[in-house]
Structure 1
């Protein structure tokens, strides 16, 4: 099947846009600007640069040529006006929330979000910022959960671990009518498979440590939004927070972006094949993956997503810690570890054997297992899962 015009354009962005080979003596890979500062011929020129640091290279805590190339690519991939990169995904999330909120405001978190993000939201209570979590994804239920002081609707799409989908266009419309800012973590789908800004969402966040980097060897984050939002973040949360993406990490991220379109095709192919296998296994109760027709949001996904990544979950019929532990420990190709989005396949569970009350509070099954399907041969991965799951029969 030929590539869509959209995917072909994104592929060109990943491969070539912003690399500036003519500026760098024809270098096929842009140089790494590892210097911390940039000097000027005269004090007047330095003074001018300092007064407009976003448009000039003064100090790498502000801007850096290597990092700027990455930011240009990510902004274009998301169809946004501007991007700012950070030293981690959590740094980007922190900056986005701090820029959007003040004392007395309220954050509405939609369904399941990354636990560290939820910890941050709880931490903000000490500054007089309230929050609630609505464990639902329909626009009607989200609308009912909005308060008079709600200033941010925060989402992951698909939702964390449960992988339910949110109608982003509908939520963006109800938020704009009330002057509420919408923020979404788009790490699961990547800019290749979902473009929230085109659906009316205000801010997109990425953990670049996942699919964008793709090799489990860098930490990074990014915010993409309109120029006004990014300019405000640069002057306040970015410069004062200091959580910058180093030029060395930026060079690794550039490398990851060059292969992103190729890798995501394999993640998708493997993911669908493994989800279909899990559906057929007698030890599995439910598969959480929007790329299969049995998923409750499959039709919404066909309208809103242009592809699917390799991150999914499933519930065991035996919903207890011992069964979860037995399956995880029995895998050989799937490695036991946190994070996801790189070449390797990973397995874990939010059930640690001591947090049953927390799982119940967060509407999570104690038999849930998460898979980050990597780039290995799908049949080998299925064989590994089969021998592990068969132990429960």
Structure 2
């Protein structure tokens, strides 16, 4: 099946009892057994739930993987992946990344002996020098959050495969509609399903998709043993959101391009970070490994005034000043004080994340209204 058909049908069957076309919300904590150990595939809802099963099968199909595993949040999925490793194992991470990922790595798992090395992986050549015999995994985002840098997934995968190192790709910003890392050589794909997969800012969830059977079994064990599972209502909401993922992403991409082009020519805007613009350093790479440029962009005003940037964010009316991204509504975020506040200021500055940077999650409203809102906010 092609993507649009998979989004609506993959992993989903009519309810066998009633014929309901939509997957029911199996709001139950346990399942009756005919005899001890004799059941219909479900024993206890932390371990399995039919609504979650349908979602996991659907997500696996969208990423062209064999196994989908869902968690209570994107960070719960990240937590499960990091639990695959042992004290002393080194993990190389793209230096421009979501603040919550940085926090769980440096303030939680580093305390348990994992070693993290943060490297600018937009330059693939830097990866070779960063690897050591203790390196067990490479973690990348592409496009990165919030500077929209591109990482060559296939290029990184060629290096990691040759050395027997796992490659994990956070595909949240692109979504499966625009990019499929497993097809490019990645071993594990992780999503904050809260974002584009759900698409309506009404649920929190994480997801992992992969092909390797043994690693999938280990992650399923962690899912059950540690218990960070999503409820059936949340699984239903993400399943419903996915049915329109392809049409939403098309409009996200169209609107983001229009907004980026407007900001690019604005006299009060100094920099626009959007891979769809021809002068973006990763533009050609984005054309090769993505099927569109996405709905995320960041920009900086001329000068270096935090007060000016704050004023813009206070003036917006159609955009909403809020954390998160990927919903149908447009959001404006100040990474330095919101999504990336857990990263020390000196580390943010080293990676080029200025306190004046504004990040936009461009929704699916009318692009003319979005541009008019930015026009009045910037002045």
The normalised TM-score by structure 1 is 0.92
- The separation in 2 between residues aligned to 1:187 and 1:380, in whole angstroms, is 26
The aligned residue for residue 218 of structure 2 is 232
The aligned residue for residue 35 of structure 1 is 28
Q: Say whether 1:374 aligns with 2:363.
A: yes
- The separation in 1 between residues aligned to 2:154 and 2:345, in whole angstroms, is 35
Could you tell me whether the CA contact under 8 Å between 2:11 and 2:61 is conserved in 1? Answer: no
The aligned residue for residue 19 of structure 1 is 12
Could you tell me whether the CA contact under 8 Å between 2:121 and 2:151 is conserved in 1? Answer: no
Q: Say whether 1:363 aligns with 2:352.
A: yes
> Quick one: which of 275, 281, 289 aligns to 1:304?
289
How far 1:61 sits from its partner (Å)? 0.3
Q: Pick closer, same or farther for the CA change 1:320–1:358 going to 2, 3 Å.
A: farther
How far 1:375 sits from its partner (Å)? 1.2
Unaligned runs of 5+ in 1: 1-7, 50-55
The aligned residue for residue 53 of structure 1 is none
> Quick one: which of 159, 177, 184 aligns to 1:199?
184
How far 1:152 sits from its partner (Å)? 1.0
Q: Say whether 1:334 aligns with 2:355.
A: no
How far 1:24 sits from its partner (Å)? 4.4
- The separation in 2 between residues aligned to 1:24 and 1:44, in whole angstroms, is 23
How far 1:377 sits from its partner (Å)? 0.6
> Quick one: which of 139, 158, 168 aligns to 1:183?
168
- The separation in 2 between residues aligned to 1:112 and 1:45, in whole angstroms, is 49
How far 1:64 sits from its partner (Å)? 0.7
Please state whether the residue corresponding to 1:43 is helix, strand or coil. coil
> For residues 79-107 of structure 1, what are the alpha-carbon distances to aligned partners after superposition, in whole Å with 9 as ceiling and x for unaligned?
001010001000001101111x1011111
- The separation in 2 between residues aligned to 1:10 and 1:25, in whole angstroms, is 28
The runs of at least 4 consecutive aligned structure 1 residues that moved more than 4 Å come to: 353-356
> Quick one: which of 323, 343, 349 aligns to 2:308?
323
Q: Pick closer, same or farther for the CA change 1:22–1:332 going to 2, 3 Å.
A: closer
Unaligned runs of 5+ in 2: none
Q: Pick closer, same or farther for the CA change 1:186–1:304 going to 2, 3 Å.
A: same
- The separation in 2 between residues aligned to 1:336 and 1:228, in whole angstroms, is 43
Q: Say whether 1:348 aligns with 2:333.
A: yes
Please state whether the residue corresponding to 1:177 is helix, strand or coil. helix
Higher helix share: 1
Please state whether the residue corresponding to 2:140 is helix, strand or coil. strand
Q: Say whether 1:119 aligns with 2:112.
A: no
- The separation in 1 between residues aligned to 2:335 and 2:15, in whole angstroms, is 49
Please state whether the residue corresponding to 1:83 is helix, strand or coil. strand
- The separation in 2 between residues aligned to 1:188 and 1:24, in whole angstroms, is 38
Q: Say whether 1:45 aligns with 2:30.
A: no
- The separation in 2 between residues aligned to 1:94 and 1:233, in whole angstroms, is 10
- The separation in 2 between residues aligned to 1:356 and 1:230, in whole angstroms, is 37
How far 1:309 sits from its partner (Å)? 1.9
- The separation in 1 between residues aligned to 2:309 and 2:225, in whole angstroms, is 44
Could you tell me whether the CA contact under 8 Å between 1:88 and 1:221 is conserved in 2? Answer: yes
- The separation in 2 between residues aligned to 1:357 and 1:144, in whole angstroms, is 23
The aligned residue for residue 123 of structure 2 is 138
Q: Pick closer, same or farther for the CA change 1:242–1:22 going to 2, 3 Å.
A: closer
RMSD across aligned positions (CA) = 1.6
Q: How many residues align?
A: 373
How far 1:357 sits from its partner (Å)? 3.6
